[in-house]
Structure 1
Amino acid sequence: MSTGALPYYLEDRSGSYAGSDFDDIYDRLFLRVALMIYNVGRRSSNQRDYRPLQREPSVALEFGPSGTLDRSLSWARLRSHCLEGESLIRKFRASNGEEYKWTYKTESDHQWSCTDSANYVVAHYNLKPPNKPAFRTSGNMLTINETHASLAIELLASLTIMRHVAAYHL
């Protein structure tokens, strides 16, 4: 991470890729995934908030039968890094024109890592291990480099798709 920049630490309240709130611990960004990603503009409570949202989603994710992915999200097309079988290394081109790559467990302390074309880690995600205690927090965290905060919704959407790919062995 760059010197002096404060990353966005987004606590994943539930740890479920199909539905959770992501709240920055410094109250700068609040996102909700409900197979759609919303910029909710406020911190969620410790309790899940099931009230209907009064705004349009920033991204709609659609998964088909047997967990297949809807290919209509042109910017979120995650290209597999291998020619055959499943791959937990996939690239996508973000709205800033740059190419990014999500990888699973290639960094020793990150479950998921997203790197840019120079192999610089711009975001990473970790689920709390089941045997590790968490006190007043979920222990699940998406960290986004401050210089890439404008891509937060794209990073979260692509991470959600990658977690779906891993869950369904696509």
Structure 2
Amino acid sequence: MQAVSLDNVYTLEDRTALISSSDFDDIYDRLFLRVSRPTKATSTMIYKMKHRSSRHRDSQPLTAEPIVVLDFTPDESLGNISFPKAKVTVPMARYLRKTSLFGGSLSRKFIGSDGREYTWNRGCVQGQEWTCTTENFLVAHYDLKPPQQRVYGTSGNTLKIYQPFFPLAVEIVASLTIMRHIAQFNL
């Protein structure tokens, strides 16, 4: 698998590591995404924020329209993914398909807005919780902070997206959120 130079990687800190309640803030202030699920709701929304989240996440009200809506069913099974601006809604099982008929749920692929096929796998690369690839290129990886590592003022959890694929950051965060949901609920 080929990786792009580490100088050209966007590092988004996952502030809480909670699947449906976190912020993904670029460490160089280029992109801020919030993943949020209202209490007692089955929909998880992704918002593009104007500023980095603070330690007090609720200090920035969610007044804008979400850029992605992940509608899960009441029993947390896969529902639909919607991109409101594009007015596109697709069943998650069709958007994020298993890589093989009899393969596990934690290896899935999706077609990005650029027409390429991207694949998510869990634990296939040492040190990476989730790995996204396309055509033998490393696209992104999600890493949880090792339990023994001390951090100061950060969560230590990161999503790294390689520069050529940064225009797909929203799709990468959305598909990663679904993959983590699948793992959490053993779907």
Regarding TM over 0.5, the answer is yes
Per the alignment, residue 157 of structure 2 pairs with: 140
Per the alignment, residue 163 of structure 1 pairs with: 180
Write the mapping of 1:38-117 to structure 2, written as runs, cut at 5 A: 38-72=47-81, 73-74=89-90, 77-84=95-102, 86-116=104-134
How many angstroms apart in 2 are the aligned matches of 1:114 and 1:153?
A: 14
2:121 partner SS: strand
What amino acid sits opposite 1:97 in the alignment? G
Once structures 1 and 2 are overlaid, which stretch shifts more, 80-89 or 49-58? 80-89
2:8 partner SS: coil
Per the alignment, residue 9 of structure 2 pairs with: 7
Matched, 1:130 2:147: yes
**8 Å Cα contact 1:75-1:95 kept in structure 2:** no
Change in 2 beyond 3 A, CA 1:45/1:51: closer
2:128 partner SS: coil
TM-score by length of 2: 0.83
How many angstroms apart in 2 are the aligned matches of 1:4 and 1:106?
A: 20
What amino acid sits opposite 1:46 in the alignment? R
RMSD value, Cα: 1.9
Per the alignment, residue 26 of structure 1 pairs with: 28
How many angstroms apart in 1 are the aligned matches of 2:67 and 2:19?
A: 16
Change in 2 beyond 3 A, CA 1:138/1:4: closer
Deviations 1:37-95 (A, max 9, x none): 11102111122235422211110011112211113543961111243474200000011
TM-score by length of 1: 0.91
How many angstroms apart in 1 are the aligned matches of 2:61 and 2:170?
A: 20
2:58 partner SS: coil
**8 Å Cα contact 2:112-2:118 kept in structure 1:** yes
Change in 2 beyond 3 A, CA 1:100/1:136: same
Gaps of at least 5 residues in structure 2 are 37-43, 82-88
Gaps of at least 5 residues in structure 1 are none
Deviations 1:107-135 (A, max 9, x none): 1121100001x121111001123343221
What amino acid sits opposite 1:40 in the alignment? M
Report how many residues are paired: 169
How many angstroms apart in 2 are the aligned matches of 1:80 and 1:4?
A: 29
Identical-residue share of aligned pairs (%): 48
**8 Å Cα contact 2:140-2:160 kept in structure 1:** yes
2:124 partner SS: coil
Runs of at least 4 residues of structure 1 off by over 3 A?
none
